[in-house]
């Protein structure tokens, strides 16, 4: 299997995707754990292993102090680090913007010699949300498995159901988009290849602006991350803010790794980790109001005008 960064021949890429899916299907049939174990994730973790020891922490936010870039949090016992207590933690701007008193979060604690410890990899951890995400993940897993070699959803088929988190840390399910057109793609925030994700996002924004200008109503723009390990809600929030993206109808979604993997499989997007870089293909899709995949463009050569025209018809 070869992965291609820039494909002018979308068809060939789609065939590549199908070949991969056939391989995946076969591995299911053989009971191999190729997809389930998410081989790419662990390799990447090793490569990017931080030198400072980090500790998983759960807690409830007591207060948010934006000026100090910190929160007060009542944390549960952190094995090997400290007992349960209420203390100050520093947070990145995106996480801070999402933080609210009373919220349950989980994160990785990074100790500091000079001041308050820092929280990274911050995820919402409210019970109900966790349950919805987990259910969504296992339903999608079963669905991908059941579809086997037909996991890839062609134009004309319904989009899969899912439960993910948006850039505000809110759980969003596929139901949220029912009755709306959805323009959907897959990107990741650290993508270093200018004419891949950065261009893709810029064009989605163009499409969003053009749709608004042309009076297209009831359309949502959705970018799902290829890299949920890094792209937490807070990271996505900063990504959108840095680009001045109007998030009133543009969501950046992330969530359980396996859920993202299954969506990639079902939408026919291929990714492969090379150290910290993800080699991947691009697909931009238009989903109609009843949830049917109406159109897809493989590669980076689609035009915002074309998509907006299709939204109008
Ligand atoms: Cu990219």
- The structural domains of the chain, ordered by start, are 20-40+148-312 (3.40.30.10), 55-125 (2.40.50.320)
Q: Phi/psi at 132 (nearest 5 deg)?
A: -65, -45
Integer-rounded Cα radius of gyration of the chain = 20
Instruction: Look up residue 310 and give its two tokens.
Output: 């299709």
Closest CA to 123 of 80, 168, 87: 168
Distance 223 CA to ligand 1 centre (A): 12
- How far apart CA 158 and CA 70 sit, in angstroms, is 43
Distance 78 CA to ligand 1 centre (A): 36
Closest CA to 59 of 79, 75, 70, 78: 75
Q: How many CB atoms lie within 10 A of CB 80?
A: 7
pLDDT at residue 52, rounded to an integer: 84
Distance 4 CA to ligand 1 centre (A): 11
Cβ–Cβ < 8 Å for 293, 155? yes
Distance 271 CA to ligand 1 centre (A): 9
Distance 247 CA to ligand 1 centre (A): 21
- Bridge partner list, 295: 286
Give first-to-last CA distance, the chain, whole Å. Answer: 37
Distance 225 CA to ligand 1 centre (A): 10
- How far apart CA 56 and CA 120 sit, in angstroms, is 10
Distance 197 CA to ligand 1 centre (A): 4
Tokens 């990447």 locate to 44
pLDDT at residue 7, rounded to an integer: 38
Distance 199 CA to ligand 1 centre (A): 9
Instruction: Look up residue 175 and give its two tokens.
Output: 């139901």
Cβ–Cβ < 8 Å for 213, 199? no
- Bridge partner list, 119: 91, 109
Distance 280 CA to ligand 1 centre (A): 6
Distance 279 CA to ligand 1 centre (A): 7
Distance 259 CA to ligand 1 centre (A): 19
pLDDT at residue 71, rounded to an integer: 98
Distance of CA 306 to the CA centre of its chain: 25
pLDDT at residue 12, rounded to an integer: 39
Buried b (16+ CB within 10 A) or exposed e, 232-254: bbbbbbbbbeeeebeeebbbbbb
pLDDT at residue 48, rounded to an integer: 55
Distance 281 CA to ligand 1 centre (A): 8
Distance 282 CA to ligand 1 centre (A): 8
Tokens 């163009």 locate to 206
Distance 227 CA to ligand 1 centre (A): 10
Instruction: Look up residue 114 and give its two tokens.
Output: 């000079």
- Torsion angle of C-alpha atoms 197, 201, 206, 211, degrees rounded to 10: 120
Cβ–Cβ < 8 Å for 71, 89? yes
- How far apart CA 72 and CA 75 sit, in angstroms, is 9
Per-residue pLDDT of the chain (313 residues; tens, 9 = 90+): 334 444 333 333 443 444 444 333 333 333 333 333 323 333 444 455 557 899 999 999 999 999 999 999 999 999 999 999 999 999 999 999 999 999 999 999 999 999 999 999 999 999 999 999 999 999 999 999 999 999 999 999 999 999 999 999 999 999 999 999 999 999 999 999 999 999 999 999 999 999 999 999 999 999 999 999 999 999 999 999 999 999 999 999 999 999 999 999 999 999 998 888 899 999 999 999 999 999 999 999 999 999 999 998 7
Cβ–Cβ < 8 Å for 107, 123? yes
pLDDT at residue 274, rounded to an integer: 84
Distance 152 CA to ligand 1 centre (A): 21
Distance 60 CA to ligand 1 centre (A): 35
Distance 12 CA to ligand 1 centre (A): 19
**Cα–Cα–Cα angle for 7, 12, 18, rounded to 5 degrees:** 120
Closest CA to 81 of 50, 56, 118: 56
């Amino acid at each position: 299997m070869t992965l291609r960064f820039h494909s002018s021949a979308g068809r060939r890429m789609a065939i590549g995707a199908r070949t991969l899916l056939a391989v995946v299907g076969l591995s299911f049939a053989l009971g191999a754990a190729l997809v389930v174990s998410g081989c790419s994730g662990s390799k990447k973790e090793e490569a990017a292993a931080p030198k400072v020891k980090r500790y998983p922490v759960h807690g409830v936010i007591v207060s948010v102090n934006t000026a100090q870039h910190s929160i007060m949090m009542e944390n549960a016992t952190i094995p090997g680090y400290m007992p349960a207590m209420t203390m100050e933690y520093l947070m990145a701007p995106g996480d801070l913007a999402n933080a609210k008193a009373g919220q349950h979060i989980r994160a990785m604690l990074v100790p500091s010699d000079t001041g308050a410890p820092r929280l990274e990899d911050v995820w919402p951890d409210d019970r109900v949300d966790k349950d919805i995400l987990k259910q969504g993940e296992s339903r999608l897993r079963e669905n991908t498995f059941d579809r086997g070699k037909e996991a890839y959803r062609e134009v004309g088929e319904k989009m899969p159901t899912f439960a993910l988190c948006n850039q505000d840390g809110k759980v969003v399910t596929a139901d949220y988009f029912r009755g709306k057109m959805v323009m959907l793609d897959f990107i990741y925030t650290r993508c270093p290849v200018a004419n891949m994700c950065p261009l893709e996002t810029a064009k989605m924004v163009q499409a969003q602006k053009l749709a608004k200008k042309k009076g297209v109503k009831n359309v949502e723009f959705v970018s799902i991350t290829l890299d949920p390990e890094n792209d937490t809600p807070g990271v996505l929030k900063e990504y959108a803010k840095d680009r001045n993206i109007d998030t009133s109808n543009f969501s950046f979604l992330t969530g359980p790794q396996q859920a993202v993997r299954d969506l990639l499989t079902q939408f026919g997007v291929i990714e492969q980790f090379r150290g910290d870089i993800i080699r991947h293909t691009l697909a931009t899709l238009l989903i109609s109001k009843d949830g049917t995949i109406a159109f897809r463009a493989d590669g980076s050569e689609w035009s915002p005008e074309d998509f907006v025209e299709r939204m109008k018809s």
